[in-house]
Chains A and B, each alone.
Chain A
Amino acid sequence: MQDEARGVLEDFRNGHPETFNNAFEALFRMYQRTVYGWLLRIVRNPAAAEELTVEAFWRIYRAHARFDPSRGFEAWARTIATHAAIDWLRTQKAEIELLADVPAAPTGDPAISAEIRRKTAAAFSRLPPKLRVAAVLAVVEELPHKEIAAALGISVTAVKVRVFRALRLLRTDLQQQGVTP
């Protein structure tokens, strides 16, 4: 099984016409759920996550020669998907409806009113995309900083700085909307 997976990665990396398409399809079928789930966590919009999964794999398809098998396919795919998501977020207007049809765990904090939630989501949508991605993955999804750093192609320290800057900008925006932390 492991040899088979290694063979698929080799075929994908080498790009020989007779084996490449099968290898790409096998990798797509193996990792589409992972990439979709990762993208949905970032963009929080199922339709956009679907579209971006295809876009990310399109970028993967074109960049196959740069794939380093020692790094692993999933980590590489996440990095490419994260950049596709950041590009998409740059094209979106702020204050879009976040969380529209996203299956989510209950928040369980009745102390936070719907109005404050709405203002927080709106403030979050106004953050620069790079800060949004770092904040949503670190604070909301509680992923390890190391994993986020690998996906963004930056250091762990840079992730912490982005999260801190995102929180500071959120606080300022919320204060301007009359929400005192």
Chain B
Amino acid sequence: MNAHDEDRIKQLLKGAMPPISNAEPPCDLWPAMLRRLDAGPAAPPWFDWALAGGLVVFALALPASIPVFLYYL
């Protein structure tokens, strides 16, 4: 990509998404923060547990895959 292309893409990007100035939250977010603190940590979704379980089963069935898996972590 040459400098002309790069400048043109930058120009298009700025045209599509102008910079944001003076961004202020529309209200005080502290009440929302208190609600979040009261709710506590979110539990991991079921598919995270399913994925972890699947990986354990896969590793037990094919122990040779463990180094390969660790390499890609």
- Label chain B's interface by main secondary structure: helix
**A156 interface residue per 8 A CB criterion:** no
Contact residues of A between 8 and 62, Cβ < 8 Å to B: 25, 28-29, 32-33, 36-37, 40-41, 44, 46, 49-50, 53-55, 57-58, 61-62
A104 to chain B, nearest CB (A): 4
Contact B36 A37 (CB under 8 A): no
Contact A136 B17 (CB under 8 A): yes
Cβ contacts under 8 Å, B60 to chain A: none
Contact A33 B16 (CB under 8 A): no
**B51 interface residue per 8 A CB criterion:** no
Report the bound CA distance from A106 to B16 in whole Å: 11
Contact B15 A36 (CB under 8 A): no
Q: Which residue of B lies closest to A29 (CB)?
A: B30
Contact A105 B13 (CB under 8 A): no
Contact B13 A120 (CB under 8 A): yes
Report the bound CA distance from A41 to B24 in whole Å: 11
Cβ contacts under 8 Å, B4 to chain A: 181
Contact B9 A140 (CB under 8 A): no
Q: Which residue of B lies closest to A121 (CB)?
A: B16
**B48 interface residue per 8 A CB criterion:** no
Q: Which residue of B lies closest to A36 (CB)?
A: B25
Q: In the complex, which of the residues A41, A120, A135, A170 contacts B15, with contact meaning CB atoms closer than 8 Å?
A: A120
Contact B1 A171 (CB under 8 A): yes
B37 to chain A, nearest CB (A): 7
Contact B9 A181 (CB under 8 A): yes
Q: In the complex, which of the residues B5, B8, B23 contacts A40, with contact meaning CB atoms closer than 8 Å?
A: B23
**A117 interface residue per 8 A CB criterion:** yes
Contact A58 B36 (CB under 8 A): yes
Q: In the complex, which of the residues B1, B23, B37 contacts A41, with contact meaning CB atoms closer than 8 Å?
A: B23
Q: Which residue of A lies closest to B22 (CB)?
A: A103
**A99 interface residue per 8 A CB criterion:** yes
B12 to chain A, nearest CB (A): 5
Contact A181 B5 (CB under 8 A): yes
Q: Which residue of B lies closest to A32 (CB)?
A: B29
Chain A residues within CB distance 8 Å of chain B = 25, 28-29, 32-33, 36-37, 40-41, 44, 46, 49-50, 53-55, 57-58, 61-62, 98-99, 102-107, 109, 112, 116-118, 120-121, 124, 135-136, 139-142, 164, 167-168, 170-171, 174, 179, 181
